[in-house]
Amino acid sequence: MYRERPSRLAGAVVWARTMEAGVARPVLPDGCMDLLWRDGELFVAGPDTHAYVPYAAAGVRYAGVRFAPGAGPAAIGVPAHELRDRRVALDALWPGAEVRRLAERVGEAPDPAAALEAVALARAEEPDPRMRAVVALLDEGRSVTATAEAVGLGTRSLHRRSLDAFGYGPKALARVLRLQRALGLVQDGMPYAEAALAAGCADQAHLAREMRELAGTTLTAYAEAAKSETSTPSGSWSVA
């Protein structure tokens, strides 16, 4: 079962997951970094360029804070491209004694996700406002050139800064954001063809290709996997 809620940290999401038997729902590229707790361990998930399938025994508990695109590096203290497509133990990035203390605190908390959120809030710094603008502009469907001009950067400078903030260049980020837009529309019940056009794809076939290349699966298979992890919401949590 997977649950999530908005974080007190701007643009972030707090989530919790208990692994169930069977194939897990893939985690798709989203331009984000996550601070994670898994049954006593703290680690970081870097930005993905392709789908990642978390394999763990049934009953294993996870909690996470998914930073807004571009916000993770300031909190974690590592450029995003250094963690691209990686899951790294937090004690490889922060002092081991501090990580052990934090892991114990999160593990003993009644709500590990809330305790992990407190760790993220204590470390968070304000991300570069130009990188926030880059996300917003690309998510609107602006071209890389138009985005660079709008934020006052050359295309090479934008690419370099994007690697540090998001883990990949602005063109790749635009593809990821477009796919996420399309999936959100599909999950809201919009037909695939309409969702493709609304998200900025040329047609449904274009969206299907992006889904295969970035997610390694089909829209139908992903939607079915998402449904398999739903349950009745509780409190302020929502189920995705």
- The span from the CA of 159 to the CA of 125, in Å, is 22
Three-point CA angle 21, 227, 181, nearest 5°: 125
- The span from the CA of 24 to the CA of 131, in Å, is 32
What one-character-per-residue DSSP string does 107-153 give? HHSSSHHHHHHHHHHHH--PPPHHHHHHHHHHHTT--HHHHHHHHT-
Residues of the domain holding 217: 129-225
CA distances from residue 213 to 17, 31, 43, 158 in whole angstroms, order as listed: 26, 16, 27, 24
- The span from the CA of 82 to the CA of 27, in Å, is 19
Q: What is the pLDDT of residue 180?
A: 94
Cα 21 off chain centre by: 23
CATH number at residue 185: 1.10.10.60
In a domain, 230, yes or no: no
- The span from the CA of 1 to the CA of 18, in Å, is 5
User: What residues in the chain have per-residue pLDDT under 70?
Assistant: 22-24, 225-240
In a domain, 234, yes or no: no
- The span from the CA of 116 to the CA of 43, in Å, is 11
Same domain, 75 and 99: yes
Q: What is the pLDDT of residue 26?
A: 78
List all residues 6 or more positions away from 136 whose beta carbon is below 8 Å from its beta carbon.
none
Same domain, 29 and 108: yes
**Contact assessment for residue 56 and residue 38, using Cβ atoms and an 8 Å cutoff:** yes
Same domain, 104 and 170: no
Same domain, 48 and 74: yes
- Residues forming a β-bridge with 13: 6, 66
In a domain, 169, yes or no: yes
Helix (H) or strand (E) segment spanning residue 172: helix 170-187
* 3 state SS for 20-67: CCCCCCCECCCCCCEEEEECCEEEEECCCCCCECCCCCCCCEEEEEEC
Which of 98, 126, 154 is where one domain is finished?
Answer: 126
Q: What is the pLDDT of residue 151?
A: 97
Specify the pTM: 0.88
- The span from the CA of 114 to the CA of 117, in Å, is 5
Looking up tokens 């049934």 gives: 58
Helix, strand and coil content of the chain, in percent to the nearest 5, comes to 50, 15, 40
Same domain, 32 and 17: yes
**Contact assessment for residue 127 and residue 74, using Cβ atoms and an 8 Å cutoff:** yes
Same domain, 91 and 139: no
Same domain, 77 and 179: no
Structural domains of the chain, count: 2
Q: What is the pLDDT of residue 1?
A: 81
